[in-house]
Amino acid sequence: MSSNVVWHNATVTRARRETLNGHRGVAIWFTGLSGAGKSTIAHSVEERLHQAGCRTIVLDGDNVRHGLCSDLGFSTLDRTENIRRISETVKLFVDAGVIVLTAFISPQRADRLRARETLGVADFIEVYCRCSLAECERRDVKGLYKRARAGEIKDFTGISAPYDEPELPDVTLDTQALSVEQCVEHVVQNLVMRGVLPGGRV
């Protein structure tokens, strides 16, 4: 970083933004295999929070790769840079008092740990969407597993690239056994328990 770059402190602080919003800013980091339900659950949680008057945004892996990370591939180094950029973007939103829901495979445990360090333990909620590879392949909502099995997609998580399961996730959702509604309720109640949301708001 250049020595000519100096941090500017704003008069409107995060605490003032959160007071205006009526809730804390926080990152809810959904991780899991492709097809495990990350995006579906993240958007469903956002809908529930939005209806309760919360300031929210979902950052989806595919959408981010259309813009912010459109220059990155799926090598280990590119995946790490992808998560680094996302983490810094999420940090800006959290500082604005927004509840940020991210839906990224983020397969490397080390990258998720760095994201937690970037955001701070109190502002990072890791949600593991646990679903077997067989079930994700059965769903194959985007047809990606079929293409990966055929060798058309390289470095595909779960097939030709590894996925590091979270060791101590803040929330584990068994998306094979639970409905979307049940998963949403688990996440929302965790937010209430942490004091992100007032108990009677949602």
Q: Which residues are catalytic?
A: 106
Tell the residue number behind the tokens 């803040």, with chain if given.
170
Burial class of 70 by CB neighbour count within 10 A (0 to 12, 13 to 18, 19+): exposed
Q: Which helix (H) or strand (E) holds 126?
A: strand 124-130
What phi and psi values does residue 28 have, to the nearest 5 degrees?
Answer: -105, 105
Burial class of 23 by CB neighbour count within 10 A (0 to 12, 13 to 18, 19+): buried
Nearest residue to 79 via CA among 112, 53, 56, 123:
112
| C-alpha span between 172 and 182 (Å, rounded) | 12
